[in-house]
Structure 1
């Protein structure tokens, strides 16, 4: 980490190591307009804002948000940093994601129950076949 205008700066390698991702991933987020590092020649120089955004991108991905959704939040924040609109948007996105996950959980629970039934029937039939073969 080097100092640039008294604000900490980071190289692509430092951020990649910190977040356990590849430099290629970071460059991809830059291509998508999610990060905008300064450049010194061919080198990218990331400030703390870029580092925080990278952390938010990765958190958003982990929560199942698309990069477009994350970008939309960044744009809302850039337009008005203390906007209720941004918070309301995030709440709506969270509610939608929760509804999708709840449905997926219900689907998985139902499938697990069906698998339990199939497994029980198979074991019962197998036990009957073995008893029939032994007798």
Structure 2
């Protein structure tokens, strides 16, 4: 098993490029305590754990989870018996998120239907005027 000194590290530029985000975004997640790179003066060194956590953060953001929920999920992973409690928490959050997205979909469908009706009326009125 490799020692900590032998473990691969990445710079902020490498991590930002790999995940398609800005340095500022990486520093923001660090400021929030979501990732904890080693610091050598002003240089940050990211380890595999930081990259995994960053990947989870970005996946959570893509799915629409707020950062406080993402933090809870990540922190639960590090807690004793974390995997079971993490999975239950995530499943609960998925249910909530799915309900929210399904409602948004219905709202969008309703809005598009109303927009179609309005467009039809406008075209009919325009045809009468022309």
TM-score in same-fold range (> 0.5): yes
Please give the TM-score of this superposition, normalised by the length of structure 2. Answer: 0.93
CA deviations on 1:12-33 (whole Å, 9 max, x unpaired) are 0100111111111111101101
> How far did 1:79 drift?
0.7
Q: Structure 1 residue runs of 4+, over 2 Å off?
A: 80-83
- Asked if structure 1 preserves the Cα contact closer than 8 Å seen for 2:76 and 2:82, the reply is no
- Cα RMSD between the aligned structures? 1.2
Larger radius of gyration: 1
Q: For 2:83 and 2:60, locate their aligned partners in 1 and report how far apart those are by CA, in whole Å.
A: 19
Q: Please, which runs of 5 or more residues in structure 1 have no aligned partner?
A: 131-135
* Structure 1 residues 56-71: aligned runs within 5 Å: 56-71=56-71
Change (3 A) 1:81 1:49: farther
* Structure 1 residues 66-105: aligned runs within 5 Å: 66-80=66-80, 82-105=82-105
> How far did 1:83 drift?
2.7
Q: SS in structure 2 opposite 1:118? A: helix
Q: SS in structure 1 opposite 2:44? A: strand
- The count of aligned residue pairs is 127
Whichever structure has more strand as a proportion of its residues is: 1
What residue number does 1:133 align with? none
Please give the TM-score of this superposition, normalised by the length of structure 1. Answer: 0.89
